[in-house]
Amino acid sequence: ETTVTVTPATLDFTAVAKNRNDLVTVPAGYLVTVLYRLGDPISANTPAYANDGSDANFAMRAGDHHDGMSFFGLAASGATPDASASTRGVLVMNHENITENYLHPRGQTTTGGVRPEAEAIKEIEAHGVSVIEVTRGASAWSYVQASALNRRITPNTPMAFSGPAKGSAMLRTVYSKDGTQGRGTINNCANGAMPWGTYATAEENWAGYFRRNRGDAAGRTAAGQAKENTSLSRYGISEGRTGNYGWTTVTPADSSSTIFSKWNATAAADAAADGSADFRHEPFQYGWIVEIDPYNPQSTPRKRTALGRMNHEGVSAGRMIAGVKPAFYMGDDSQNEYIYKFVSNTGWSAADGTAADRLAVGDKYLDAGTLYVAKFNADGSGQWLPLVFGSGPLTSGNATYPFADQADVLINARIAGDLLGATPMDRPEWTAVNPANGEMYCTLTNNSSRSVSRTDAANPRSYVDPRTDGRSNSVGNVNGHVIRLRENGDTTEATAFTWDVYAFGAGSDLNKDNINLSGLDDSNDFSSPDGLWFSLPSNVAGQGANPVMWLQTDDGAYTDVTNCMMLAAIPGRVGDGGTKTVNNSTPAGTSTATTRVGKAPGATLKRFLVGPKECEITGITSTPDGKALFVNIQHPGENGGPDNITSSWPASQTGTPASPSRPRSATIVITRQDGGLVGI
Ligand code: FEO
Ligand code: CA
Ligand code: CA
Ligand code: CA
């Protein structure tokens, strides 16, 4: 086994105070550079962004709602990968969603229920992924507008299906009659950097973009339609709507275009029995982890079906140890959904880390293996339950949902998880693995449907927000928590684990017996944990390795006190805090849960950053030397509009604009004035 030498580190900064300023605030001694904003051009001949709603061609501009992000090092020139490079690289990031109010001159336009084509094209292209070259200059980091490596991947970009569901009857559409090709990716939330130099992006809230009414059984048997309806409902594809932003209502100037109609998954009149003549199967083409080669702009992204279909938040690789089958951890972010891991069939070979055909390495480790779902027991143990066709309840004879094959199990991973008895969690968001010891952390952001009668050891809190002011998310697990697990034998191949709760989100002033269970104070109290990542500045001479865990928030419960934030942590180990009893009380009744907790974090958890108004902090990566930290600021001023601009960030970062300036999601770079490591 490889072990990481850990030099005991302390968090070497003064905690940033909670605040509601229209600024990114960082500790004294640190610098913030705004790097890449909504609309910034990524080719030489794309004009600068006017930021007044008039701009077009988002296929060659930064998209909106920057989210998960990874840095991939480059040699001094060309497109040669160099995993240790810290002054030049490709930065890859997700654009999860859009704020329509600022994309158009006057917000969304709809005439007689129909959206104008030009607006819909902008909105579609503002989703997806950016690949951009970034460099460190004499004074600051910048992106290279004319780089040949720059690329936008959008909901229109061709994709290839890969793994067991490739070619499944459920993936056939008029676009790909054999179910092997896909078109686009959407609602890309968190991410993962694969250890062989690729980027994995996660399709999260894709279901809402579709129009999909039932009663469209053309060509189907009644049993087949009933089964499909079970699946559509389990994945939250609702009826009687046009889909987010109404793209299905557009009449394109080019009548052969299907980029709008593909979101209309309700049956067409010419429906064929196998679904290959219409768009009914388009919703099955989404909900996947998609692998992208960041160094090759001509490469076709691959949808990795072995990792299952869900509201994928992100994916993080466990430790890569020669000869040991690697694991990839994932959350399914919806209320009461599950935590998953995928274990490859093949043990890790270090030579694959520098192979030239990176997507072929992805084929090797991500197409063949076992997908597991997590069950958390009250005694602090847990099991990984395999989603394997023919095993346990996952058979063709199952009365709830008769599975046809492994592709059906993966396409309907949630239904398989239900049948296996997985533990419903308080919205699993990001996962992250501590590189020093292999322990896996997962943020559970909050859960307004965690009623007192449904608390359990791993999701133990249900309470009324003492700060409630009529917000909808004010009951249940209001502030979220961070759970972590240690694999038995400390191996990624384990099928059992132990777990505890690293920290519970809460205001520092709240009840320490039942809400603020981790004893958070003014320097580290937080709510709604979401982004989570370990940095490992491992190549700094004399420093050893100092894994720092970065925790980001996407909150609506504590925002009357502070904007969203990012904290740094030097976490302990699973089981270092013992047990705790939580007495829950809401108008619906009372419950008691005994949970497993980590040691109170104290000074090992500190607030490092507070964002501007109405933003979420999400997306983080760093150069390998740990001296430049890239962070995304998502949807500042999201509650405003053209006549009511509620944030002028990022213009507000470098001065006070003379008049309100439309806010833009953006990537920032954080460096230390003395050129040292960020955070420690
Ligand atoms: Fe896109 Fe679950 O956050
Ligand atoms: Ca998230
Ligand atoms: Ca979130
Ligand atoms: Ca958001």
Radius of gyration of the chain (CA): 24
The burial class, CB within 10 Å (0-12 / 13-18 / 19+), for 68 is buried
**Sign of the C-alpha dihedral computed for residues 64, 66, 72 and 76 taken in this order:** positive
Is 333 a pocket residue for ligand 1 (Cβ < 6 Å)?
yes
- Residue 544: the pLDDT is 52
CA angle 283, 284, 289 (to 5 degrees): 105
CA–centroid distance, residue 313 to ligand 2 (Å): 6
Q: Tell me the CA–centroid distance for residue 372 and ligand 3, in Å.
A: 23
What lies within 8 Å, CB to CB, of 123 at 6+ separation is 98, 100, 103, 245, 247
Structure-block tokens of residue 330? 């994932």
Is the CB–ligand 1 distance for residue 100 below 6 Å? Answer: no
N-terminal to C-terminal alpha carbon distance within the chain = 27
Backbone CA torsion sign across 13, 19, 20, 22:
negative
Cα of 411 from ligand 3 centre, angstroms: 23
Bridge partner list, 446:
none
Pairwise CA distance, residues 20 & 350, whole Å = 47
Tokens found for residue 158:
């061709």
Residue 468 has pLDDT above 90, yes or no: no
Structure tokens of 516?
Answer: 């603020």
Token pair 């849960």 is found at 593
- Would you state the structure tokens that stand for residue 189, as one six-digit string? 């939330």
Q: Measured from the CB, is residue 313 less than 6 Å from ligand 1?
A: yes
Give the ligand at the shortest distance from the Cα of 204: 1
> For residue 402, what are the CA distances in angstroms to 237, 387, 406, 521?
20, 14, 12, 51
Mean per-residue pLDDT, 111-122: 96
Q: What is the CA 522 to chain-centroid distance, rounded? A: 28
Q: Which ligand is nearest to the CA of 554?
A: 3
pLDDT in tens, 79-88: 999 999 999 9
pLDDT grade, residue 77 (50/70/90)? very high
- Is the pLDDT confidence value at 543 over 70? no
Q: Give the closest ligand to the alpha carbon of residue 555.
A: 3
Confidence at residue 448, expressed as pLDDT on a 0 to 100 scale? 95
- The pLDDT > 70 percentage for the chain reads 95
Q: Ligand 3 centroid to 206 CA: how many Å?
A: 14
Distance of CA 287 to the CA centre of its chain: 12
* Mean pLDDT, the chain, whole residue set: 94
Q: How far is the CA of 519 from the centre of ligand 4 (A)?
A: 28
Atom of ligand 1 nearest to the CA of 97: 1
Q: Could you identify the atom of ligand 1 that is nearest to the CA of residue 205?
A: 1
Task: Tell me the two tokens of residue 252.
Answer: 């394109």
Rounded to whole angstroms, the Cα distance separating 397 from 419 reads 13
Atom nearest to 311 CA in ligand 1: 2
Least confident of 19-28, 108-117, 208-217: 208-217
The DSSP bridge partners found for residue 617 are 633
How close is the Cα of 550 to the center of ligand 2, in Å? 14
Q: Give the pair of three-digit tokens for residue 520.
A: 């958070």
Cβ-proximal residues to 298 (8 Å cutoff; 6+ apart), any chain? none
pLDDT at 2 over 50: no
> What is the Å distance from ligand 3's center to 173 Cα?
31
CB-CB neighbours of 390 under 10 Å: 11
Ligand 3 centroid to Cα of residue 617, in Å, is 10
The atom of ligand 1 lying closest to the CA of 67 is: 1
In Å, how far from its chain's centre is CA 156? 20
Contact 441, 571 (CB under 8 A): yes
Band (pLDDT 50/70/90 cuts) for residue 6 is: low
- Kindly indicate the confidence band of residue 473, based on its pLDDT and cuts at 50, 70 and 90: low
Q: Is the CB of 203 under 6 A from ligand 1?
A: no
Tell me how far apart the alpha carbons of residues 339 and 311 are, in angstroms, rounded to a whole number: 11
Instruction: Supply the ipTM of this predicted assembly.
Output: 0.94
Q: Which ligand lies nearest to the CA atom of residue 65 in the structure?
A: 4
List pLDDT tens digits, range 384-428.
999 999 999 999 999 999 999 999 999 999 999 999 999 999 999
Phi and psi at 172, nearest 5°, equal -75, 130
Cα–Cα distance between 143 and 152 in angstroms, integer?
14
pLDDT of residue 680: 86
Find the 189 Cα to ligand 1 centroid distance in Å: 5
State which amino acid sits at residue 443.
T
Share of the chain above pLDDT 90, in %: 87
d(C-alpha 312, C-alpha 308), whole Å: 9
For 94, the token pair is: 């997700």
Ligand 1 binding pocket includes 96 (Cβ within 6 Å): yes
The ligand minimizing its distance to the Cα of 619 is 2
- In this model, does residue 165 exceed pLDDT 70? yes
Tokens of 301: 């992204």
Binding site membership of 119 for ligand 1 (Cβ less than 6 Å): no
Contacts of 269 (CB under 8 A, 6+ apart): none
The CB of 186 under 6 Å from ligand 1? The reply is no
Distance CA 552, CA 478 (A): 16
Spacing, Cα 204 to ligand 1 middle (Å): 7
CA of 333 to the centre of ligand 1 (A): 6
**Calpha distance 466→470 (Å, rounded):** 11
Q: Is the CB of 123 under 6 A from ligand 1?
A: no
In eight-state DSSP terms, residue 287 is S
- Of the listed ligands, the closest to the CA of 98 is 4
φ, ψ of residue 453 to 5 degrees: the values are -75, -10
Q: Mind listing the pLDDT tens digit for each residue in 499-539?
A: 999 999 999 999 999 999 999 999 999 999 999 999 976 54
Question: What tokens does 510 get?
Answer: 């709240």
- Compute the residue count for the chain: 680
Residue 138 CA, ligand 3 centroid: distance in Å: 36
The answer on pLDDT for 383 being more than 90 is yes
Q: Which atom of ligand 1 is nearest to the CA of 187?
A: 1
Q: Which atom of ligand 1 is nearest to the CA of 96?
A: 1
Decide if 24 contacts 610 (C-beta within 8 A).
yes
Predicted confidence (pLDDT) at residue 546 exceeds the cutoff of 90: no
The ligand minimizing its distance to the Cα of 532 is 2
Q: CA angle 211-213-215, nearest 5°?
A: 155
- DSSP assignment of 371-394 equals EEEEEE-TTSEEEEEE--TTSTT-
Say how far residue 92 (Cα) sits from the centre of its chain: 13
Mapping DSSP to helix (H, G, I), strand (E, B) and coil, where does residue 593 land?
Answer: strand
Residue nearest to atom 1 of ligand 1 (CA): 189
Longest dimension (CA), the chain: 69
What is the 638 CA–ligand 4 centroid distance (Å)? 9
Q: Ligand 1 centroid vs 181 CA: distance in angstroms?
A: 26
Is residue 429 in contact with ligand 1, taking CB distance under 6 Å?
Answer: yes
36-40, 102-106, 253-257, 338-342: segment of lowest average pLDDT: 253-257
- Ligand lying closest to the C-alpha of residue 616: 4
Provide the pLDDT for residue 407: 98
Of all atoms in ligand 1, which is nearest to the CA of residue 554?
A: 3
Parallel, antiparallel or unpaired: strands 481-487 and 440-444: antiparallel
